[in-house]
Chains A and B, each alone.
Chain A
Amino acid sequence: MKKFLEGSRAIAETVKLCRPDVVAAYPITPQTHILENLAEFKAQGQADFKYIKPESEMSAASVVLGASAAGARVYTASASQGLLLMTEVLFNIAGLNLPVVLTCANRAISAPINIWNDQQDVMTARDAGWIMLFAEDNQEASDLHIQGYKIAEETNLPVMISVDGFSLTHTFGQVDIPDQKLVDKFLPRRKLVSGEFLDPKNPVSIGGISSPESYILARKKLHENLIASKKNIKKTAAEFNKLFKKQSARHDGLVEYTGPKNPKLMIIAMGSILGTIRATFNEKKISDKVGILKIKCYRPFPDAEISKIILQVRPKHVAVLDRAISLGQGGILASEIKNLCPIGMVSNFIVGLGGRDVTPEHIEKIVKLSLTDKTCTTRFYDR
């Protein structure tokens, strides 16, 4: 049913439909309304998950690690400094092959103190071994959480869903929340294999020490599993779109291109900024010469998929809009896109850090700048 909801509320309602067994989260800033809403559902008897409030984000992540290892379906959410405090545990969750689902309400990192939206937090967890999906709008945020559980439990890999703080989490709009019956059909109970989870009746140990001989093999396996999960992500999206009859006709892909063939410019970005770019192109009618490549799945990195689209579409130039930076290097997404393109083809703009508003006028200006000055050095667009 199409409802008028705040983004955080839409995500909380969706998570409730996914029937987690354990929800753990540190409730203080930078937490979102997602956890407030889940607490409300629990208090009103609308949900029967175990709701645990630990003393920090690191403990919250540890709680869901333990619960997931014991066979539970788990959920947690964080952002900004909170996600950073979780980082050590995030690596462990992935290394232990636990199907944890986490929402990151993307926000900036201190110092200086800033509570607003950018994507620096999630990029800091980039190498932890999680599947990382980025929502463009609150409908997609809802959809990706349902898909996230399925992907996680099929691949035994954790899934982090990035939702831009404030511009999605605190924004009200139309979101279609599916029926419980359909979600139950799509997402049956987690299947547990004896000996593969912590069970007092059948004791096993996990995460023991790995020798120099075996550690590299374990890391190789995790890397290969992540890359192999691309097909699960695609298949799950296709199944989801079919079962839930998505009228918005979401693509099934890890990346999505909209625009003409041979565009003068291809803009590449992740998250809610894509909506502003689309609105700009629709209004300014420049979509006949500029295309948009959306990165929905950032890890595993869709390198082959991006290359394929670039070879098919043949843009003259590429501009990557990053909302996070590897300080001393440049835009993080841009540096990965540069690996796939000839030297000189990719421009990079750092935009919207710490909640700096990105407007259609900015997008228009960035398009013009990209076409007139094709320098590949990272540029801050801070007007």
Chain B
Amino acid sequence: MIEIRLHGRGGQGTVTAAELIAEAAHLDGKFSQAFPSFGIERRGAPVEAYARISDKPITLHSKIYKPDYLIIQDPTLVNMDEVRQGISKETFIVINTEKSPAAFRKIFEKNTIQTIPATQIALAILGKPIINTILLGAFAGVCGLLDPKSLTTAITARFKKEVAEKNLKAMNTAYCHCNQNSEYCFSAEKCEVAVDGGQNFSVTC
């Protein structure tokens, strides 16, 4: 069983992202589960959501304390105890940031880290800082667990046509940025992300 923990802030679509991961896994024919950390919902407050993917039915209902993958939607959360809880050196970490992985080496010493300037991609493509589908694209690009076609189906079903198309473009951009060796880049359009020395970046559409 693969366990994925997502950290974001209220309003960033953290829970939706967990649902889309689990839904894509479902469309891949796997068993999956997604749920939020049930709190009193407030915009801007730290939020957690969880997804599990397995070849067998999932009966476990506890939260995820030792994630295989950690998706951090807001880089200002990285120092929180809740975010770092249960991280082992095997935990793969995806962070929304324009910085390079090296910038997080002190916090996540031994982990594989994938960074993605999701906010900038979102502003360039969606016109709003809504980053959840972009992080999904990055996650799908690095984890190899989700068929991009299934993610495409999940997003198409979830959003209105115009919104879905933009999100697919944003997700595609992130996917290709994180997995440049993949044969599959979404059939949707994408933008080019250039990251220079971990500090400067550009998104070209």
Closest to B27 in A: A4
> With an 8 A cutoff between CB atoms, is B60 at the interface?
yes
A275-B61 contact, Cβ under 8 Å, with A4-B23, A166-B38: yes
A173 to B36 CA separation, bound complex (whole angstroms): 13
Query: Is B186 in the interface zone, CB < 8 Å from A?
Result: no
Residue B62 interfacial (CB < 8 Å) = yes
Cβ–Cβ contact A172 & B62, under 8 A: no
A31 contacts chain B at the CB level, 8 A cutoff: no
Fill in one digit per residue for B58-83: 1 if any A CB lies within 8 Å of its CB, else 0.
Answer: 11111101000000000000000000
A156 touches B (CB below 8 Å)? no
Interface positions, chain B 18-41, Cβ under 8 Å from A, are 19, 22-23, 26-27, 31-36, 38, 40
Number of A residues near B (Cβ < 8 Å) is 26
**Bound complex: CA A273 to CA B59 (Å):** 9
- Interface residue? A115 (CB, 8 A): yes
Contact of B36 among A170, A174, A276 (CB under 8 A): A170
Contact in complex: A278, B59 (CB < 8 Å):
yes
Given contacts A276-B60, A359-B62, contact A116 B38 (CB under 8 A): yes
**Residue A178 is within 8 A (CB to CB) of chain B in the complex:** no
A357 to B37, CA, bound (A): 10
Is A171 a contact partner of B26 (Cβ separation < 8 A)? no
B66 to chain A, nearest CB (A): 10
CA distance A357 to B36 in the complex (A): 13
Which residues on A sit within 8 Å (CB–CB) of B33?
Answer: 171-173
Measured CA separation A288–B84 after assembly (Å): 35
A4 to chain B, nearest CB (A): 4
Smallest CB–CB gap between B86 and chain A, Å?
11
Report which of A117, A167, A174 forms a contact with B31, defined as CB distance below 8 A.
A174
Q: Please tell me if the beta carbons of B61 and A167 are within 8 angstroms of each other in the complex.
A: yes
- Asked whether A173 lies within 8 Å of B58 as measured between CB atoms, the reply is yes
Contacts A272-B61, A276-B59 given; indicate if A174 touches B26 (C-beta within 8 A): yes
The smallest beta-carbon distance between A352 and chain B, in angstroms, is: 10
Q: Which of the residues B19, B22, B58, B63 comes within 8 Å of A357, measured between beta carbons? A: B63
Closest beta carbon of chain B to A274's beta carbon, Å: 8
Contact A115 B62 (CB under 8 A): no
Q: Given the complex, which residues of B lie within 8 Å of A278, measured CB to CB?
A: 59
Q: Is A355 an interface residue (CB 8 A)?
A: yes
A313 contacts partner chain B, Cβ-Cβ < 8 Å:
no
Residue of B nearest to A355 (CB): B38
| A279 near B59: Cβ-Cβ < 8 Å | yes
Contact with B along A259-290 (1 / 0, CB 8 A): 00000000000001111101100000000000
Residues on A close to B: CB < 8 A? 4, 115-117, 137, 164, 166-168, 170-174, 272-276, 278-279, 355, 357-360
23 A-B contacts (beta carbon < 8 Å): A4-B26, A115-B40, A166-B35, A167-B35, A168-B61, A170-B35, A171-B33, A171-B34, A171-B35, A171-B61, A172-B35, A173-B58, A273-B61, A274-B59, A275-B61, A276-B60, A276-B61, A278-B59, A279-B60, A357-B62, A359-B63, A359-B65, A360-B60
For the complex of A and B, the 9 pairs showing the least CB-CB separation, nearest first, are A275-B59, A279-B60, A4-B26, A171-B35, A359-B62, A172-B34, A166-B38, A167-B61, A173-B33
